[in-house]
Structures are given as C-alpha cells and as structure tokens.
C-alpha cells in the first residue's frame, strides 16, 4: 500500500465519512479555509491513480468512493509508525503513548479489556 500525503489523507477522511461523494460534497465537509475545487479534484485523481478511490459516472459528473477501507489504511499507518519510531516494538509504542498522554487507570483498564477479548 502506498503512503498518502497530508492533503490526500484529508480528502480520504471525508470520503470514508461520506462513503460516496462528488468533489463539491467533499469540499463542503472540509474545515475552513476550504481548498479550491481544482485542488480537491486533482487530489481525487491522484488518489484514483494510487488505487485508493474509484468512481462512477452520474449525469455529467463523477461520484467518488473509497476502494481502501479506513481500517486497512489505519493499520498500515500504525505499523509504519511503529517500525519507523519504535523499532517495530508494540510495547515501546504503547508505553510511549501511555506516558505522553497521562492515561488514567480507567483508560488503561479499558485497553486491557480489549486486549483480553483478543485472546
């Protein structure tokens, strides 16, 4: 899987949320300042060439939809983060986030419950 730029990821976030949309609808969901129509249109075409987005013709326009699930890209991104910054160690990565985010005991217990569900 290819890595997305920040701008590409912002567009994908909107598409994952909307599930299917034209460029104008994507822009409508984006925070201010809104990017230009041509900018988003170009990003969508790049995402299409990377295999992240498909489209169907609707009238004279196109409706775009994600081909890559958000969960799949999240897993890819987190694995890359873990490998690049924590030498591939899940323990080191989790330890880092626990320390830096001052997690409460309740939050840690919730995480342990999730881990125990997987076993």
Give me the tens of pLDDT residue by residue for the chain, a chain 119 residues long: 999 999 999 999 999 999 999 999 999 999 999 999 999 999 999 999 999 999 999 999 999 999 999 999 999 999 999 999 999 998 898 888 888 887 888 888 888 888 888 77
Domain boundary assignment for the chain: 6-66, 70-118
Q: Give the pLDDT confidence score for residue 81 in this predicted structure.
A: 93
Exposed/middle/buried for 65, CB within 10 Å: 0-12, 13-18, 19+?
A: middle
14 and 30 in contact (C-beta within 8 Å)? Answer: yes
Domain 6-66, classified CATH 3.90.1150.10, yes or no: no
Q: Give the pLDDT confidence score for residue 49 in this predicted structure.
A: 97
Q: How far apart are CA 18 and CA 37, in angstroms?
A: 17
15 and 86 in contact (C-beta within 8 Å)? Answer: no
The model's pTM? 0.82
Planar angle of CA 6, 12, 13, nearest 5 degrees: 90
Residue range 70-118 forms a domain whose CATH class is mainly alpha
**Which tokens in the block code for residue 10?**
């912002």
């Amino acid at each position: 899987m290819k890595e997305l730029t920040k701008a590409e990821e912002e567009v994908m976030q909107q598409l994952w949320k909307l599930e299917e949309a034209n460029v104008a609808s994507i822009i409508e969901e984006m925070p201010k300042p809104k990017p230009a129509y041509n900018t988003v249109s170009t990003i969508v075409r790049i995402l299409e060439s990377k295999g992240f987005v498909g489209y169907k013709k609707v009238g004279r326009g196109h409706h775009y939809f994600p081909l890559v699930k958000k969960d799949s890209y999240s897993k890819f991104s987190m694995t890359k983060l873990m490998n690049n910054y924590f030498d591939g160690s899940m323990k080191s990565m989790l330890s880092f986030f626990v320390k830096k985010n001052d997690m409460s005991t309740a939050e840690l217990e919730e995480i342990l419950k999730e881990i125990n569900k997987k076993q």
